[in-house]
Copies of this chain bind each other. A is one copy, B any other.
């Protein structure tokens, strides 16, 4: 019998938890009722979890592991290593070491999650710095952007690692595609950008002959969502600014749209007619569908759900965990990095 895909979930992290994490978990289990290839491990206050689970009837493929405490939002990365050993977050990540979970998921305190993930799982020997990757909607589907903020300063070697990590992630989600990788820059010509970017450009051009990725050169910020590339690589400072600027812009536009469409009686009436098309529009851009940033480059993947998401958003981050384990993320990464280190098979 093949080993089941084992997803370790910190049930206590994020706003309105464990209610939303449990609702999201039950949604995932019910949607995948016919599959028997996965196991979910919920870490947290057993009493609370069991009480909440009563609302969802019979649930299979689920284990509960009791923990005495959880990481608060006020905990800082500095003190977390000392204070967090009995928390649901720590035990959830540690289960990748102790009991062979394949992936860990938490909606809790981001800074602490990054620190204790690195502490427990350790950075892979082939990688200098782990990176945080996210999924972005685009005109043709979804792409991967990294780093979104794990490292504020990066050299060219880090960017090359991120390219390989991002390509492996994309490949694990879309097994039939050969990942196309671009470097985020302020122009598309080869002479543009910082020295770090120019060095990374040269190296990626050479790597592009390998089998694991196609290097497409530089990409500008206004092209991120065109869908002409699959993986967009940048340092954590720039990536974080780009991600949040996109979020802010999307909010600004949809807020303005909403207030315009409800500004008069006649426009309110028109909403009845456009209800379904506007719903389709809203559904396509629903940020909950893209919930889950993936910490790559450790000896095991960790997914960070948005703290403020709801049960449906949390469901999507579990679905993401399932997909990337099923797509063999970790062996894709190892394969890509071995190409990088020159020892091709």
Nearest CB on B from A76, distance (A)? 10
> Whole-angstrom distance from the CB of A194 to the nearest CB of chain B?
6
Judged by a CB distance under 8 angstroms, whether A119 is at the interface is no
Q: Mark A110-151, 1 if CB is under 8 A from B, else 0.
A: 000000000000000000000000000111000000000100
Minimum distance in angstroms from A252 CB to a CB of chain B:
4
Which of A's residues lie within 8 Å of B, judged by CB?
137-139, 149, 152-153, 184, 186, 193-194, 220-226, 234, 236-238, 240-257, 260-261, 263-264, 266-267, 269-274, 276-278, 280-281, 284-285
Q: Are B241 and A256 in contact (CB under 8 A)?
A: no
Q: Which residue of B lies closest to A193 (CB)?
A: B152
**Assembled-state Cα–Cα distance A222/B306 (Å):** 15
20 CB-based A-B contacts, threshold 8 Å: A139-B252, A152-B186, A152-B193, A184-B241, A186-B240, A186-B241, A221-B242, A221-B243, A221-B246, A221-B247, A242-B245, A245-B245, A245-B249, A253-B253, A261-B274, A261-B278, A261-B281, A266-B276, A269-B273, A271-B274
Given the contacts A271-B274, A273-B267, A257 and B245 also touching, CB distance less than 8 Å: no
Sample of 4 further A-B pairs with CB below 8 A, known A222-B248, A267-B273:
A184-B241, A221-B240, A245-B245, A249-B253
**Complex contacts, A149 vs chain B, CB 8 Å:** 186
The answer to whether A249 touches B225, judged by C-beta atoms less than 8 angstroms apart, is yes
Are the C-beta atoms of A244 and B221 separated by less than 8 Å?
Answer: yes
